Chains A and B, each alone.
Chain A
Amino acid sequence: MLNLVEFNLPVLLVALLIGVAAGRWIFARRQPPPERTEEDSSQS
């Protein structure tokens, strides 16, 4: 089994990086919508 892991190391590394990117995408902080300022309120 270890031999299979060694042989597939490049593709496993790619999968790991995809996982890190997905983790960043999944757990990224959601930006709150910008608060309306008084200037915005007066324009509307």
Chain B
Amino acid sequence: MAQPASGSVQVYAPPYELVREPLVANRRSVGWISDQIASVVEGKTPWWWWCAFVPSVTLLTTCMSLIAYLISSGTGVWGLAHPVMWGWAIINFVWWIGIGHAGTLISAILFLLRQKWRTGVNRAAEAMTIFAVMCAGIYPLIHVGRVWYGWWLFPIPLSQGIWPQFRSPLMWDVFAVSTYFTVSVLFWYMGLIPDLAVMRDRARSKVRKFAYGLFSLGWTGANRHWSNYEKAYLILAGLSTPLVLSVHSIVSLDFSVSQLPGWHTTIFPPYFVAGAVFSGFGMVLTLLIPLRTVCHLEELITERHIDLMCKVTLTTGSIVGYAYAMEFFIAWYSGNPYERFTFINRAFGPYGWGYWWMVSCNVLVPQFFWFRFVRRNVVIVWILSIFVNIGMWFERFVIVMSLHRDFLPASWGFYAPTWVDIWTYIGTFGLFFTMFLLFLRFVPMIAIAEVKAITPQADPHHPLGGAGGGGHH
């Protein structure tokens, strides 16, 4: 340790209990970070990749075949029946788009809050967002029934001279989801530019050098460029924060603007956003816990990262639990008999089992994350994260299924999915995992430049960064 220069402030090391766990374990060098992350892309394709890729592509094919079957036959192949005219398609749409929320939350909101740990997980979470929104985007397109009129959703001049009707929240949804997808891709790509330049500079083969060179847009790492880049990144984070909060709010307006008991509530926007972040973190944990092991990235996605993500899951899960309680309270307090009946029917009616799945997975399961030994045990966290995903699917199931007993008992009905519903949904996992596995093999799954920037070696005012005479003699 060098002697501090005269006149400078003497900084003492903090006591042991206050020392934070480093975000990159074992004081790895800046160069090691490049090598380790790039090795996932540069190495030979590992066996586990093929073991995951082949079933994924099979499921993707199933999904596409069933969509072709749906389009050629009509929505009768689904289990839709009066009064439940919005079945698994909307459930799966909301579920997938909710999962997408963690990526933008990590990349935008945690960036604005200066949470440095985001750098270890943001790239993979953003990729997850994009692929989840792709899976979600399938459903509105196919559940319109006559898919070949899907373009009527967009404000394009039609031969009839009629325009979309912008007083409908379904139109707002079109703008929200397409903006969300586009901005997520922009944000992800912008973060990738410096890392694609890293891959270009490391490339051995001509094809790789050309491809990474093309997509890195001639990035050199010049500080005049970084200066504009950092400002643009900050602005994108600032724009994505209201975006991520608005998208699931608008999705919830699809329900709450309608005049149906159980749907027509003002709590829906914040409740949907909290649930979306909750499910998104569930999926990030489900994906990254196995990946950090098989890709040998435990030193970059440390137990501290997982611990922190569990805390976010606990917080948002508890907000969701509060929303469930508040919904029940309002159903009673409003004095509206239809509202009251809907909620009692949700918990104790024919689909009551779905309600209790939802409550157990979303409210009870995250309570385990109060305990540090749970948050630090990756196997337990992984299992609990799967329950989070299941629970959030059931939340949308419960909301959509409240249609089955509406105002008049004469029009009550029952809903059951067909094999086409079920396998189309399972097939979307094929799309998701196919895209995710391709992502792993072609671009760095952790933001190399960003992780470098948070290490002490990167800080010019830290002794490891050469401060205090350590660098030049």
Do chains A and B interact in one complex? no
The interface of chain B, by Cβ under 8 A from chain A, is: none
